[in-house]
Amino acid sequence: MQEILSPMPGNVFEIKVNVGDKVEDADVVIVLEAMKMEIEVVAPCAGTVESITVKKGDVVDTNQVLGTIK
């Protein structure tokens, strides 16, 4: 299982996947808004989205777990 980590503090702007979706390495899974910019968070590996631990509008910190891929 691989964790999807936030690269920086920000707000969850958009969640592009659902639990159970299949993703490829480097697919965009979540978009954060930080310093008025949209930051794309990508899948660290190929697999199936096992969990999403945030929702739109949540405030996240650097290295916070946003979800997992199995």
Check residue 64 and give its pLDDT. Answer: 98
Check residue 20 and give its pLDDT. Answer: 97
* Tens-digit pLDDT profile for residues 1-31: 999 999 999 999 999 999 999 999 999 999 9
Check residue 41 and give its pLDDT. Answer: 97
- CB–CB of 44/4 below 8 Å? yes
Average pLDDT on 40-52 reads 97
Fold topology of 2-69:
OB fold (Dihydrolipoamide Acetyltransferase, E2P) (2.40.50)
What is the side-by-side order of every strand in the sheet holding 10-15? Answer: 37-42, 28-34, 10-15, 59-60
Check residue 4 and give its pLDDT. Answer: 97
